Every structure is written in structure tokens, then in C-alpha cells.
Amino acid sequence: MSLPQTSNPLALEQIAREQERWRREDVEAGRAKIPQRREKFATDSGIPIPDLLTPADRANERYLDDIGFPGRFPYTRGPQATMYRSRLWTMRQFAGFGTPEDTNRRFKYLLDQGVTGLSTAFDMPALMGYDCDHPLSRGEVGKEGVAVSSLEDMEILFDGIPLDRVTTSMTINGPASIALAMYVAIADKRGIPRSKLGGTIQADILKEFIAQKEWIMGPKPAVRVLIDMIDFASKELPRWHPVSVSGYHIREAGATAVQELAFTLADGFAYVEACLERGMKVDDFAPRFSFFWDVHNDFFEEIAKFRAARRIWSKRMREKFGAKDPRSLMLRTHAQTAGVSLTAQQPYNNVVRVALQAMAAVLGGTQSLHTNSLDETYALPTEDAVTIALRTQQIIAYESGVDRVIDPLAGSYFVEYLTDEMEKRALDYLGRIDGMGGMIRAVEESFPQREIAESAYRHQQEVEAKDRIIVGLNGFANENEGSNIAVLKIDEQVAQRQVERLRALRARRDQAAVARALAKVEAACRSGDNVMPPVVDAVKAYATLGEVADVYRKVWGAYREAAAF
């Protein structure tokens, strides 16, 4: 149903005529006096920006079909009817470094400072499916996130954290099934019903092949394990999001906002199709999908991206996949400010960048938000830096007034124009991907990888030519800049302590029980049974993350990416 046109066509024609007269007279006179800074303007994705938009430009708008109301199809204005009037977004700050004890202390500090959800970063060995004592782990243990090799590490990490009252996000992909199994095992050991566990595990493995490059096995078996997780969570973990379809790393790799939008949604639709092929019902699993977006510097384009994402998702879920439950049509969003936009030069400029990006995420209608710290181009954030990042969210929430009205930018001629343009360009990409046979095939053919590489190259050319100014980097730079900001340093003894703990665990655990549990994991991998129940049993027997990942590598082989040019 479309809302009938309520604007007087004669009035719109008059506005259009006056707009043209304004361009001929006022604009031309202004240009003659002060030339425009550039002939044409465009968003960071290359979308042309008109000089002025009026009601005449929205004359063919179908309000109910394209904009509607918050909490109603097509959810352009937000997934909930009352949005922040009822509940503010979840305020998360990424935490993870050193030993599990180190990160546990940071978790508790952040909770004391007012975060409303935890977000866990794992170190590189864990992300790649290796234990801390593996030769490939040398020099990386606890450096980019917390070191976790076993259920014992995970128990220490969440010691004293009420898992039934605090939602937890975990950023891990290839070994996501193992990390989720450990989290479930902790709850089981504490007597917390699985139905009370709330949170998200990233698990979006396709974006690893597209952008971040952290995996264990190839695309098809990796997607199979992800679908096992979704199936398991839909039955056992009703409050858990078993996949956070992530555009963040796609954008950080150099994608435009349009590419981030298109490729992320394509990943999500690929998982929907895989679940349906498994025989699952769309309304049994789709309500637990969530999405994770980057928020970059182009303020209005980022807001439009959120709105277009919700609209595309809801329409395709209803029209192509037959979803009927409104929760299946709602695209739920976590957002993070753009790490790639931070500069080591003049690092305090990053506070301003993060504030603008966070405001865009809120005006775009995010349900959860992480704000980056000013020092993250140097190292993991210090307590002082992460506190400023959190306070940025809190000032927006409690002092800016943006929480008092629902979707305040709806109806803006410019925002609605950008939303339509983002949707149109993303749908063009989705059509091309469908023509290739779907996203898994597109990834195997390196289509999104090439598109992102070309975008990143163009961006760098613009920076070097100073067609794109980055304040403090290629414009307004100071000589002999330097920085005296404090930097978090990881104790070099972290790796030694973690290796010693792991060896002690292996010495005292029941080796026969571990061997039996790992054999059941292997059997499930080979038979097509859901791997999650045996993985949960394996980590409860204190099989390590690396040992379970080695089973995956044994069955499916270690993946090596072909070069794409």
C-alpha cells in the first residue's frame, strides 16, 4: 500500500520552477562573486550530491513503502517503535589484552564506568585457531587481544561476570564455534540456564575471506560450521545472536559505504539460503541474526547506510525468503567507529572523529555501539583513553537530546535522497552477485576482494594527491609533531605465564576423555551432524581451542587463498 500523494502537484511544480530560477539567478550570481570550491560534489562512495533538494525532488515518494514508521515494515526508521525513548543503545567498549586476568579486570573497570555490554577481543593465535604454545603463536600471545587457549582461560576471563545479566559480544570467526562452546560450558558449570545467555558472537566467516583473512578451513566447510551454530542457537540459546554479519572489516579493508552495505547484506542472505537448504524454517533462525557496521567520516552517508540496510533486508526477507515473523524482517545493528580513520598524527583529533561517527550511528538508529579510543593507532587502549571513548557515548546519550525523538532525520530531503541512492547502488551489487550464483561463489571468484582493492587504491591516490584531506596527516600538519600520549604495554611475561598454565592443564586433565571427545567432534564433521554438541562436550573435557581447530583442519584441510589481481 502506498500513501496517496498529499502535496498539491501545482505547488510542487511551482517549487520546481522557483528552484530553477534560484539556480539561474542566485546561484550564478553567487558563483560569479565567489567560485565554488569544486565543480561537483559527491559522497565518499561517489554518489553525486545535488546543491539543494526540495519537496519537488520527493514528489514520487511512496512514504509507507519506503519510509514508514519505526517498528513497522520496511523498518527504514528503526526496528523498534519507540527506539531510544524506551531504551538507549547498548554501550560497549572493545576489551581484550594480555592474560584472561588482565582482561577480566578491564571488564570490571568498564562495568563500573557504565558500559552496558561487554565486547571481547581475542589475540591472533586464538583468532587463527592455535594454542598459545604453538610455534606460530610466538610474539603474538595477548598482544592484539586476550589470550584464550582453553575453557580454563575462558572461566578466568568471565570470573565474577553475571552471564545471565550482562550481554557479551565476542569478536572471533574461524574458531567461533569453539569460543561459543566455551561460553555455553561456563554457563552450564555455573548452573545458568542456556535460555538466559544473551549476546553475540561475530562468526561471519565469509567476510574473513573478503577482508580480514583469519580463517581455519575453506569457505564451504566454514559456512557449514556457521550454520551448525545458527541451528544450535535457534534451539538452545533463544537470546543469543549466533552470527553478527560484519561489514566493519569489509569497510576497514578499503570498501566504500555502498560496497560495505552490499557485500555485508550479500553475506547475510548467503547464510539465510544455507539455513534454508539445511531444512530450517526462516522464522526460526532469522530473528537471531544481527549486523555489525563501520561508521566512517561521511556523516550523512553513514546515516543513510543504516536506513537503507534495514529497508533492503526487510524487503528481501519478506519477498524472496517468505519471512512472516516481524522479528525476521528487523535488521538489528551493532556499530563501531572507524578504526581506519584514526591517525597517529595529532591523535587528539581522533576524539572529534569518534564523536562525529558515534553521533551518525545514533542518528542512524543503532542498537549497540562501540567507540574507538584515541590511542588505538599506537596500541590497545589505556584506561584513560577507553574512558574518554565511553564518555563520548554517554554525553551523546544524556546531554545531546538525540534520544528524545524517534528518527529525527527522517523526511530530510537530503537524507532520504541518499538512502534511496545507497539502496539503488547496493541492489545493483546484489544483482551482480546473484548472477554469479551467490556470495560463496562470488568470494571464491574474488569478486568482492577485487572491488574493495580497487576502492582502497582510489582512496589512497586521493589522499596522496590531496584531493581528500585528512586533518593532521596531509593537511594542517605540524612539523616535529610527535606525541606524548601514554601507550599500553603488554608484559612480555604474558606468553610464558599462559604457556605454563596450558601445560599444567594438559598434565592434569583426563587425556582419555579428551581423546574420546575429539573423536566425536571429528565424527560429526565427517557425518554432517551438528558439530556444536560434541564441541561443547570437548571443551568441557578441557580439549583446547587449538586441538578442536586441528580436528577441523584434519577433516577439511587448512585453507590457502589464491592471489587475486
CATH number of the domain to which 278 belongs: 3.20.20.240
Write the DSSP assignment of 206-233 as a string of letters. Answer: HHIIIII---SS-HHHHHHHHHHHHHHH
User: Does residue 404 surpass a pLDDT of 90?
Assistant: yes
Q: Residue 155: inside a domain, yes or no?
A: yes
Cis peptide before 125 (omega within 30 of 0): no
Q: How far apart are alpha carbons 95 and 121 in whole angstroms? A: 6
Closest C-alpha to 71, from 404, 326, 298: 326
User: Does residue 2 surpass a pLDDT of 50?
Assistant: no
Q: How far apart are alpha carbons 539 and 533 in whole angstroms? A: 10
* 219 touches 179 (CB < 8 A): no
Surface-to-core class of residue 236, CB atoms within 10 Å of its CB (0-12 exposed, 13-18 middle, 19+ buried) = middle
- The tally of domains found in the chain comes to 1
SS3 category, 534? helix
Per the prediction, the chain carries an average pLDDT of 95
- Could you report the per-residue pLDDT of 314-343, keeping only the tens digit for each? 999 999 999 999 999 999 999 999 999 999
Residue with C-alpha cell 550564478?
A: 28
Q: How far apart are alpha carbons 94 and 102 in whole angstroms? A: 14
| Whether pTM exceeds 0.75 | yes
CA-based end-to-end distance of the chain: 46
What DSSP designation does 287 have?
Answer: G
Q: Residue 406: inside a domain, yes or no?
A: yes
Q: Residue 32: inside a domain, yes or no?
A: no
- Could you report the per-residue pLDDT of 157-170, keeping only the tens digit for each? 999 999 999 999 99
Q: Residue 545: inside a domain, yes or no?
A: no
* 214 touches 208 (CB < 8 A): yes
- Could you report the per-residue pLDDT of 446-469, keeping only the tens digit for each? 999 999 999 999 999 999 999 999
User: Does residue 1 surpass a pLDDT of 60?
Assistant: no
Q: Which long-range contacts (CB under 8 A, 24 or more apart) does 352-357 make?
A: 353/297, 354/389, 354/392, 355/392, 355/396, 356/297, 356/299, 357/295, 357/296, 357/297, 357/302
Instruction: Report, as an integer, the average pLDDT of 339-362.
Output: 97
Q: Residue 505: inside a domain, yes or no?
A: no
- Could you report the per-residue pLDDT of 184-221, keeping only the tens digit for each? 999 999 999 999 999 999 999 999 999 999 999 999 99
Closest C-alpha to 253, from 319, 209, 316, 219: 209
Q: Residue 323: inside a domain, yes or no?
A: yes
Q: What is the domain extent for residue 449?
A: 84-464
Q: Name the region of 175 (left: φ>0; alpha: ψ -120 to 50; beta: rest).
A: alpha
* 362 touches 402 (CB < 8 A): yes
Residue with C-alpha cell 560569479?
A: 32
The confidence score (pLDDT) of residue 482 equals 58
Q: Residue 539: inside a domain, yes or no?
A: no
- The CA distances from residue 372 to 343, 350, 436, in Å, are 12, 9, 37
CB neighbour list of residue 223: distance below 8 Å, 6 or more residues apart:
205, 206, 270, 271, 274, 440
- The CA distances from residue 472 to 251, 283, 299, 341, 344, in Å, are 22, 49, 19, 12, 9
Instruction: Report, as an integer, the average pLDDT of 387-411.
Output: 97
- Could you report the per-residue pLDDT of 220-253, keeping only the tens digit for each? 999 999 999 999 999 999 999 999 999 999 999 9
Closest C-alpha to 428, from 1, 76, 42, 46: 46
- Could you report the per-residue pLDDT of 361-392, keeping only the tens digit for each? 999 999 999 999 999 999 889 999 999 999 99
User: Does residue 261 surpass a pLDDT of 50?
Assistant: yes
Q: How far apart are alpha carbons 21 and 307 in whole angstroms? A: 33
Tally of residues, the chain? 565
Percent of the chain with pLDDT over 70: 98
Q: Residue 541: inside a domain, yes or no?
A: no
